[in-house]
Amino acid sequence: MSFILAIDQGTTGSTALILDDALRVLGRHNQEFPQLYPQPGWVEHDLKDILTSVEGAVAGALAQAGIDPAQIAGIGITNQRETTALWSRATGTPVHNAIVWQCRRTAPRCEALAPQAALFKRKTGLVLDPYFSGTKLAWLLDERGHRAAAEAGELAFGTIDSFLVWHLTGGEAHVTDASNASRTLMMNLKTLSWDPELLSLLKIPSAVLPEIRSNSEIYGYTRGFPGLPDGIPVAGMAGDQQSALFGQACFQAGEAKCTYGTGAFLLMNTGEEVVYSDNGLLTTVAWRLGEQTTYALEGSAFIAGAAVQWLRDGLGLIKQASEVEALAARCQDNGGVYFVPALTGLGAPHWRPDARGVIRGLTRGTTAAHLARAALEGIAFQNDEILKAMESDLGHPLAGLRVDGGAAANDLLMQFQADLLGVEIARPALLETTALGAAFLAGLAVGVWSDLDALRAAWREDRRFRRVMDQAEVAARVAGWRAAVACA
């Protein structure tokens, strides 16, 4: 029997899964790590904490699975994208904390590059926003004095996939994959290589960059990684949202998924066509298999599950995030309360880093239940905006949507999402499709699964949600949401 180790390195913690070739999860372990906020709008991670959390997650999953680590046929990695790491090539030691995708410190750099916004969009499919890696790396080189060392080839840059592969292989492989590279503002979407003109504008030396590889191939072999024997192939990588699209078996153009994590992310497979958005969405690489590249349209909301965490940690309305559904169900509707969760700005289709959260419609009769429902509905409203923009870019309506991530287990949220969208929502039996996508990619590379048809056959559905709300009620709710967004 063949086993795959999938490592899902996320924003708040790292998860490791051990799966067999029938997609049974034999072992699963999550280990959280601290979030660092040096000043308002800045978000960092200690890379040593990330590495320790991955080591702990792998050890915990192996212990639960009860297998010999030597039986692992391959390792797949998926990761929080855009988060920027810089470390010494000689020692592997980070020279600074990772700058997290949520961090807004490089807004002034993006503003300075604004005259080149059209060029960046044409070449990368992205908007000029602090969200992406390129300006984060430039900030590290300039503001922390690392430019000379980077130009001399002494430092290595990478998103978290690169950092993990480096350490899994004992420093032998400095690589990234096409999906993560497409989120840096530095890779040309069509050539799938680092673009010299963009590097010049960002002032990034090529000596610091990893090699761009496909999403399913052997990048190297384990060496000296705690808890794992040497010689296991590291064989699949993808940014978390692309990995979830792959794990949802959305292999055909027009198929789409939404992941409900810290943020919410909608991706639609557009096939081999690079589709540019006129509605504030991003064009991105979905994956590259062999010589074939698949592209996607993406819309992201910065805050989704994080809104529930704020209800828990900031307001103390619940003790556990899982309690939010029961609290929200205590009221029949939102009582006219709308919550725009722009706690770190608004993402697609608005792209307003200056926006701030709004709770609108409070009355003397507003209860904690109304706030909980408004928070869940705010997540769904954001996704509805993104999907409508996606439909406009494609020129036709979406046929259906697959959902995953922790909040996809919330039936109230899923039903309201289906009411807004007016399409069927399919929830898989295994919600951790981000990790599943990494497992699929690694398994393809080492022969655990033969082709995409085998992966599609393995995908299993749990439940479907269909619209039950009256169309007039949906229109009224959307109007209330738009009024609230105008105040953000």
pLDDT at 353 over 80: no
CB 99, CB 105: distance < 8 Å: yes
What confidence tens digit (pLDDT) does each residue in 203-260 have?
A: 999 999 999 999 999 999 999 999 999 999 999 999 999 999 999 999 988 889 999 9
DSSP of 327-387, one letter per residue? HHTTSSS-TT-EEE--BTBB-TTT-BTT---EEE---TT--HHHHHHHHHHHHHHHHHHHH
Closest CA to 178 of 103, 105, 127, 239: 239
> Can you give the pLDDT at residue 253?
87
> Can you give the pLDDT at residue 467?
95
pLDDT at 49 over 80: yes
All residues at 6 or more sequence positions from 384 whose CB lies less than 8 Å from its CB, including other chains: 417, 420, 421, 478
* Whole-angstrom distance, CA of residue 454 vs CA of residue 449: 6
pLDDT band at 331 (very low <50, low <70, confident <90, very high): very high
pLDDT at 330 over 80: yes
Share of the chain above pLDDT 90, in %: 83
Q: Quick one: CA dihedral 475, 480, 483, 488, positive or negative?
A: negative
What confidence tens digit (pLDDT) does each residue in 103-113 have?
A: 989 999 999 99
pLDDT (average), residues 438-452 = 95
All residues at 6 or more sequence positions from 31 whose CB lies less than 8 Å from its CB, including other chains: 13, 14, 52, 53, 54, 56, 57, 60
The tokens describing 243, both together, are 């990995």
pLDDT (average), residues 12-19 = 94
- Count other C-beta atoms under 10 Å from residue 292's C-beta: 10
pLDDT at 435 over 90: yes
What confidence tens digit (pLDDT) does each residue in 150-181 have?
A: 999 999 999 999 999 999 999 999 999 999 99
> Can you give the pLDDT at residue 349?
83
> Can you give the pLDDT at residue 298?
92
Closest CA to 457 of 309, 158, 251, 285: 251
Closest CA to 427 of 409, 413, 441, 445: 409
Neighbour-count burial for 382-412, b at 16+ CB within 10 Å, e otherwise: bbbbbbbbbbebbeeebeebbbbbbbbbbeb
Closest CA to 324 of 366, 377, 360: 377
CB 84, CB 98: distance < 8 Å: yes
Domain boundaries defined on the chain: 3-241
How far CA 119 is from CA of 139, 184, 220, in Å, comes to 21, 14, 35
280 or 372, which is more confident? 372
Closest CA to 420 of 466, 462, 464, 453: 466
DSSP of 463-477, one letter per residue? EEE---S-HHHHHHH
pLDDT (average), residues 287-297 = 95
pLDDT at 38 over 80: yes
Q: What is the mean pLDDT of the chain?
A: 94
Min mean pLDDT across 25-34, 339-348, 353-362 is at 339-348
The tokens describing 327, both together, are 């609290």
pLDDT (average), residues 190-200 = 97
Where are the extended beta strands (E) located within 181-243?
Answer: 187-188, 193-194, 211-213, 216-221, 233-239
* Whole-angstrom distance, CA of residue 479 vs CA of residue 266: 22
pLDDT (average), residues 459-465 = 92
All residues at 6 or more sequence positions from 218 whose CB lies less than 8 Å from its CB, including other chains: 74, 233, 234, 235, 445, 446
> Can you give the pLDDT at residue 71?
94
Which strand (E) or helix (H) includes residue 202?
helix 196-202
Which CATH entry fits the domain spanning 3-241: 3.30.420.40, 3.40.50.1820, 3.50.50.60, 3.40.980.10? 3.30.420.40
> Can you give the pLDDT at residue 449?
92
pLDDT (average), residues 357-361 = 95
pLDDT band at 397 (very low <50, low <70, confident <90, very high): confident
Share of the chain above pLDDT 70, in %: 100
pLDDT (average), residues 174-196 = 97
